[in-house]
Structure 1
Amino acid sequence: MNPEKIINPPSGFATFIVSMVLLIVSVLLFIEGQLAIGIILLIVTFIFLLPGLIIVNPNESKVLTFFGKYVGTVKKDGFFWVNPFTVKKKVSLKAFNLNGQQLKVNDSIGNPIEIAAVIVWQIKDTAAAVFAVENYIQYVNIQSEAAVRHLANTFPYDNLEDETATITLRGGADQVSEMLEKELNERLNRAGIEVLEARISHLAYAPEIAHSMLQVQQASAIIAARKLIVEGAVGMVEMALNKLSEKNIVELDEERKAAMVSNLLVVLCGDKAVNPVVNTGTLYH
């Protein structure tokens, strides 16, 4: 593969002025009847001078080849003159956005998910982009899809089914994006392309299991909430018993303590409003 070679050709303004002068002179020669010299000047102008003029816009480049041989790349913006027989291919140096399509793949534990990524890339080596691959834009699209699929197969969607997972697609967004960017740079380096940023833009369970996984997530949330409520209720019951004992408000034997604990837990852990019941007798009748 040819390494990129940056060239700085001469300015094209002098060549352009010479071409205009030769055109004027050739017209005058035609008027005076000196056709041979006028034709020669026209050939020199239209075959050797004007075809060599190129304009390079900011953040663009021209890759030059001469009869199949790579000559170099013009990256400096401006108006230049190069060998008129070179083939000039424009290659943009601007940053490109690739909004990947939604892919349906399986995560590391086999759950079908939908995933898509947004990738920002830029050409760094114009020679590699033009000569190493057939079509560098198509190459980016295909390799990006392959990298996203590989990433989705490497990690679970979340840790509901795999509690030992340290990185998940949903919970480790920064780490996953960093890994995706690294893998893309390795894949696209052959084409002289650098990935500036890669982010997961869409992540969801596939429609056929989305409802079931939503129920699992809701159940996990309810269990976590109940666990927190029970821990808080036990602490409040313990505090209440300690306060009653410290201030000698009432003497409670073990049976009364058990009844109070039961009533307090029912009140604190219930998900509905509690209606108080007035006991007019005693605990033992």
Structure 2
Amino acid sequence: MHEIARKSLPGIPVLLVLLAALLAVAALFVMGLTQVTVWVIVASILAGVVLLACLGGFYTIEPNQAGVLSLFGKYVGTVKESGLRWNNPFFSAKKVSLRVRNFESGKLKVNELEGSPIEIAAVIVWQVVDSAEAVYNVDDYESYVHIQSEAALRAMASSYPYDQHDGSSIALRSHPQEVSEHLKAQIAERLARAGVDVIEARISHLAYAPEIAQAMLQRQQAEAVVAARTRIVYGAVSMVEMALDELKKNGVVDLDEERRAAMVSNLLVVLCSDRAAQPVLNTGSLY
């Protein structure tokens, strides 16, 4: 079921017309009583009942709000003009907010792609774009949005690892933009039947579960140390190679293989050490 636009009459002019008609009917009723004219009395009573029933056709629509109209359970259209409006008094109007709304899911405990338990939460920004679908396709569209958004968040969290290990895969912590786009697409797919448009979906909380947080912190620290050491060694080897090439090129000193190996060892110790090297001065022969 899709939204159908329906026209409505402005309420103030219709109200003035009905009040004037009621005054005229009241005057007719009084005239019928004074002249003891039965048909005038009956006609004025019937007209008064009809006019009073027409007063039940008034309803108000606020800005960014829609009135979903139904006649004895059948959907007849949606009115979006704001202010006091009037339609058939037998129509029932259910008001639906079209304003942009947001909510933050609670912290969900799920297993990420590698099986580690994590805590994750997201902020969802959404808006009703089809009032008929929101009212008639689901029982409670607000509850539907919350439940389906949390279900999509769980499914998305289990599709990615928490952290990046091989440098190429998408991870929850290192690729927030890609993860947010995936989450938005999953939520939008689930909420399409409820006439809801997902404007934005972003991760607001991400952490390892408390029971493994300390172990994962140690793992991250170890990985950081290994990565740093790897980079240091790579740089040190490049510097040693450059130093030996420059010494040989400029003819500063001619080293045999044994002393070349000793120099390489000493330079690597100096460059790769996490503490400042203590120099030793040789006051004797070079050999």
- Partner letter of residue 46 of structure 1? L
Hey, what does 1:171 align to over in structure 2? 174
SS at match of 1:154: coil
Taking the aligned partners of 1:39 and 1:156, their CA distance within structure 2 comes to 76
Deviation sequence 1:205-228 (CA, Å, 0-9, x none): 111111111111111111111111
| Cα deviation code 1:74-114 (max 9, x no counterpart) | 12334321011111110111111021111000011110001
Q: Which of 128, 132, 138 is 1:133 aligned to? A: 138
Aligned length in residues? 280
SS in structure 1 at match of 2:158: helix
More moved, 64-73 vs 34-43: 34-43
Partner amino acid for 1:254? E
Retained in 2: the 8 A contact 1:115–1:203? yes
Q: Distance in 1 between matches of 2:48 and 2:283?
A: 122
Worse overlay, 88-97 or 238-247: 238-247
Q: Distance in 2 between matches of 1:256 and 1:194?
A: 73
Q: How far apart are residue 4 of structure 1 and its match?
A: 1.9
Which residue, 230, 233, 251 being the options, matches 1:230? Answer: 233
Paired with 1:126 and 1:185, the residues of 2 have a C-alpha distance of 16
Q: Which residue of structure 1 aligns with residue 70 of structure 2?
A: 65
Question: Unpaired segments of 5 or more residues in structure 1?
Answer: none
The answer for the alignment partner of 1:52 in structure 2 is: 57
Q: Where does residue 191 of structure 1 map in the other structure?
A: 194
**Equivalent position to 2:87, from 82, 85, 93:** 82
| CA distance in structure 1 between the partners assigned to 2:249 and 2:159 by the alignment | 58
Check the 8 A contact 1:122/1:193 in 2, yes or no: yes
Q: 1:122 aligns with which of 112, 120, 127?
A: 127
- Correspondence list, 1:1-285, <5 A: 2-25=1-24, 34=33, 42-48=48-54, 50-160=55-165, 163=166, 166-282=169-285
Partners of 1:146 and 1:214 lie apart in 2 by 28
**Residue aligned with 2:106, SS:** coil
Distance in structure 1 (CA, Å) of the matches to 2:228 and 2:33 = 100
Q: Distance in 1 between matches of 2:197 and 2:33?
A: 58
Partner SS for 1:249: coil
TM-score by length of 2: 0.88
Query: Among the aligned pairs, what percent are the same residue?
Result: 52
Task: Name the SS of the counterpart of 1:250 in structure 2.
Answer: coil
Alpha-carbon contact 1:156-1:165 (below 8 Å) kept: no
For residues 276 and 165 of structure 1, the distance between their equivalents in structure 2, rounded to whole angstroms, comes to 43
The answer to whether the Cα contact below 8 Å between 1:12 and 1:81 also exists between their aligned partners in 2 is yes
Question: Greater CA deviation, 71-80 or 224-233?
Answer: 71-80
CA deviation profile, 1:44-103 (whole Å, cap 9, x unmatched): 44322x211222222111011111111111123343210111111101111110211110
How far, CA to CA, are the matches of 1:152 and 1:247 in structure 2?
Answer: 59
Shift of 1:14: 2.3
Give the superposition deviation at 1:251: 2.5
**CA RMSD of superposed structures (Å):** 2.4
- Structure 2 segments unaligned to the other structure (5+ residues): 35-40
- For residue 11 of structure 2, what is the amino acid of its counterpart? G
Question: In structure 1, how many angstroms separate the alpha carbons of the residues matched to 2:2 and 2:235?
Answer: 68
